[in-house]
Amino acid sequence: MKEMIIILRCFKLAIFIVIPVVSVLLIINTIKMVLFSRRSEISIMRLIGATNWFIRWPFIIEGAIIGIAGAFAGYLSLFFVYSFIYIKAIEYVPEFSLLQPTFITNIILFPFEMFEIFIGFIGSIIALRKFLNV
């Protein structure tokens, strides 16, 4: 039993590391595609004399919005999966106590949003630094 708990903890740690890395890579790729599609607009803004931060901010905000959308999708999937598990657990083992799905998901919503906004900022800044050279 202890071996199973150790394996599950290692798996949980691996998932906790892999998912944010994949999120950052997806945001970098999305911002890179947006930069590529708006390269003429960016060159015009540079010619007019726009500051580097004036060019960067729309992309940083877009990365944060992508992060918020990802967090909301994760929140919804967590709610539905946990609700399903909760219903099945109560059905098969009535004396098994779990927290209500709304209680769990309400606690997790704000940290999910803040973490994904942070991931969106990081992904945008990396993409801008790497591909915009501003």
pLDDT value at residue 48: 93
Give φ, ψ of 99 to 5 degrees: -75, 150
Residue 63, Cβ neighbours under 10 Å: how many?
A: 27
- Hey, is 98 helix, strand or coil? coil
pLDDT along the chain (134 residues), means of 10: 84 89 89 88 90 88 89 87 86 78 79 88 86 66
pLDDT for the residue numbered 47: 92
Confidence at residue 63, expressed as pLDDT on a 0 to 100 scale: 87
**Residue 41, token pair as written in the block:** 């607009």
Q: What is the pLDDT of residue 42?
A: 87
pLDDT at 85: 86
The Cα 41–Cα 39 span in angstroms is 5
Query: DSSP string spanning 17-80?
Result: HHHHHHHHHHHHHHHHHHHHHTHHHHHHHHHHT--HHHHHHHHHHHHHHHHHHHHHHHHHHHHH
